[in-house]
Amino acid sequence: MLNFCEDLHAFRGLALKAVLLLVATRLSVSAQVADPSGQWMNEGATAMRQGNIPQAEQDFQRALAASPHDAGAYLGLGMAQLRGGKLGSAVQSLTRASELKPSLPSAHMFRGIALFQMNSIDAAVDQLKEEIKLQPQDTEALTWLGIIEIQAGRPEDACGPLDQAAKLRPEDQNVLFYQVRAHTLAAQRAFRTLYKINPDSWYVHRTQAEINSEAHQPDKAIEEYKAAIKARPGDPDLYEALADEEQKVGHPLEATNDYQSELKLHPNDPIALFNLGKIQVETGDPTQGVAYLRQAVQAHAAPAPTDFYLGLGLSKLGENAEAATWLERALTNSPSEFLLQSTYYELVRVYQKLGRKDDSQRALEELKKLKAQSSQSAQP
């Protein structure tokens, strides 16, 4: 479970920002209708912005004296009381704001925050859900709901609102932090349950292998994938994953054997065919590699890398005219930056062998541009 004080401290700025925004919105409405409480609402908002919370609370009380049924004044008072640490009074004021105007934005959210600080977790969750019903796209409400669900020990329930908040604010580091935290805690809980059911199941070994792979520990991932295959020898995906890790540690022969095992279980698999062709072109028999890659093309493997390695293999076999065709085709299929540079590099060589000096020069100029751009991007 997360540290209660850490959560409140991390999001204090978030709450303050929302408070000031809401007060400013309320003030613009007050000025338009010229209600009797407008002056004191303005004074309260100013005091809040200056951090003078006691003065803000007094001003909102005066606004209520002028307009006893003003839901906005109760909202301002509740937010001032929340900022001042008067949690019970804040809950009462914010509850009254919602009673007077059920559709009033933010009253439920700040009431939920107050209840959260009072450690009334489930009641806080209910208030945040009510706020989200009124404002489905409110990032603060969604984020607070996620935080409170994590605090309640329900990270699975936190993932949904935090995922939605992250879509609305994809570069908000606070939201992203809690999104990662929720998913991590949920995954850890699921893995513990999986392990408890059967610690030697292929599910456990595969999960641990994937964790090791993500942690850039391919040797450990290989051992776990082998254990998973021992428990489930008929799964082609396990052989593919194992072969991928074998490539990472520079074991082309072992990777080849694993991809071939995958093909026996899943004939004509495009990924296995591509990787077998790539390995043969790079380190083995280009003739065999080209044969695999031609099959991979027919099986609809990823076009850019398949086209590139097919062109590379044909170049190694001296089939430069066809090699140029496949390399040129690779350029039209949105290759990665690395593959783009590699393709132009090979085209320079292939065009030279074909006597196409102008094309070779153009390819060389493109290669120089790409390297210059990469160098600039790498600079701090």
How is the chain split into domains, by residue range?
4-192, 198-249, 295-380
* CATH architecture, range 295-380: Alpha Horseshoe (1.25)
- In tens, the pLDDT along 212-260 reads 999 999 999 999 999 999 999 999 999 999 999 999 999 999 999 999 9
Is the backbone of residue 182 left (phi > 0), alpha (psi -120 to 50) or beta?
alpha
Average pLDDT of 269-279? 97
pLDDT tens for residues 72-114?
899 999 989 998 899 999 999 999 999 999 999 999 999 999 9
CATH no. of 4-192: 1.25.40.10
pLDDT reported for residue 3: 43
Q: What angle do CA 82, 88, 92 make, to 5 degrees?
A: 90
Residue 16's pLDDT is what? 47
Task: Provide the pLDDT confidence category of residue 39 given band limits of 50, 70 and 90.
Answer: confident
pLDDT of residue 111: 95
Mean pLDDT (the chain) is: 90
pLDDT at 380: 65
Q: Is the pLDDT confidence value at 303 over 50?
A: yes
Rounded to two decimals, what is the model's pTM? 0.75
State how far the Cα of 56 lies from the Cα of 42, in Å rounded to an integer.
10
Same CATH fold assignment for domains 4-192 and 295-380: yes
Residue-wise over 256-294: b if at least 16 C-beta within 10 A, else e?
bebbebbbebbeebbbbbbbbbbbbbeebebeebbbbbb
Give the Cα separation of 229 and 234 in Å (integer): 8
Judged by phi (left if over 0) then psi (alpha if -120 to 50, else beta), residue 276 lies in alpha
Locate 134 and state its tokens: 């009124």
